[in-house]
Amino acid sequence: MTTTHTYRGIVWIDLESPDENEISSLVKRYDLHPLVGEELKSSSSLAKIDVYKDYTFVVLTLPIRTRHNDSYVVVDREVDFVIGKNFLITSRFEAIEQIEYFAKIFEANEILGKEEKIDHAGHIFYFMVKRLYAGMRNDLENIRDAIVSAENGIFKGGEKHMVRHLSNLNRELIDFKQTARIHHDIWANLSEHTDKSVFNSDFAPYVDDLKTDFTHIHELIVNARELLADLRETNDSLLNTKQNEIIKDLTLIAFIFYPLTFIAAFFTIPAVDVALVEESHGTFSWITMTLLMIALAAGIWFFFKKKKWV
């Protein structure tokens, strides 16, 4: 599907799941390199930048947090950009919310006649990436909110449930970092080739601003991972402490009942004249053994209390 937007003589062509005819038409119209056309036909999932004489080809992989069943996952979404002097081509194979939102803003600005500094397609590319980065920051803020919520769950006794929850959050941050890590190299490369591209040197501050935006995103990822690591360590410590307490209680119970079991077994030995078991003792013998066991259990308990083992 091809959607065309225009603004002051600048054309933005947005391709979603383009077919071969759509790509071939654009390659002929804008005299694109055949390799660029091949890149637009498929999703390579490899961020890169190629500078040509009349245009610049940029591939960005974007980490997007999306809900899957009862949890969230971070998926890769690729967007290919062909940025000329008076045209911008974007190609993608999945719907990307931020680009759809940018299209609405772009149309609104055109209809309302708002003044924007858009002298060439590079400025449209700049504003679009700013919108994409705003979406990434929003996802990271949501992940941080989930981490803070997990902190409350940890200290409310939900350590066992939090193990899986924290692991899922850690996986999201790892996927986020892996997908976005190459962006810094993209902007560094574009900054170096700004003078050789169709954009003049005035575009360099825009590239630097995108680089600063990504640095902020990288810091959000690092800070979130540090906070998550501290929480996982705390959760593991609390969980180990709780498990140790359970093991200690079970050990105490076993230690108390072991001698009681021994006494009960001792007086059930099938021998002649076993003390307290003869028929002549009757109910008295049963009460005596019961009191003996109770006294022994109480003695063991108070011994543990005195040693401060319980």
CA 36 to chain centre: 32
Burial status of residue 4 (CB atoms within 10 A of its CB: 0-12, 13-18, 19 or more): exposed
Domain boundary among the residues 194, 222, 241 is at 241
pLDDT of residue 111: 44
Q: Are residues 138 and 273 in the same domain?
A: no
How many domains, in total, are found in the chain?
2
Q: Are residues 93 and 163 in the same domain?
A: yes
Residue with tokens 């040197």: 201
Q: Are residues 267 and 162 in the same domain?
A: no
CA distance 86 to 290: 97
Low-confidence ranges of the chain (pLDDT < 50): 111-113
Q: Are residues 282 and 173 in the same domain?
A: no
> Do residues 80 and 40 lie in contact, with contact meaning Cβ atoms separated by under 8 Å?
yes
Q: Are residues 113 and 131 in the same domain?
A: yes
What's the domain range around 271? 242-306
pLDDT of residue 159: 67
Domain boundary among the residues 208, 241, 274 is at 241
CA distance 257 to 251: 10
Dump pLDDT digits (tens) for 69-93. Answer: 777 888 888 888 888 888 888 888 8
Q: Are residues 226 and 194 in the same domain?
A: yes
Q: Are residues 284 and 148 in the same domain?
A: no
**Taking the C-alpha atoms of 122, 125, 127 and 128 in order, what is their torsion angle to the nearest 10 degrees?**
170
Q: Which residues touch 39 (CB under 8 Å, ≥6 apart)?
A: 57, 59, 80
| CATH number of the domain to which 216 belongs | 3.30.460.20
Q: Are residues 198 and 247 in the same domain?
A: no
- Tell me how many degrees the CA angle 308-309-310 measures, rounded to the nearest 5: 90
Dump pLDDT digits (tens) for 190-204. Answer: 777 666 666 766 777
Domain boundary among the residues 200, 222, 241 is at 241
Q: Are residues 163 and 259 in the same domain?
A: no
> Do residues 9 and 86 lie in contact, with contact meaning Cβ atoms separated by under 8 Å?
yes
Burial status of residue 55 (CB atoms within 10 A of its CB: 0-12, 13-18, 19 or more): buried
pLDDT of residue 238: 74
pLDDT of residue 275: 58
Q: Are residues 67 and 212 in the same domain?
A: yes
DSSP run (H or E) holding 180: helix 159-180
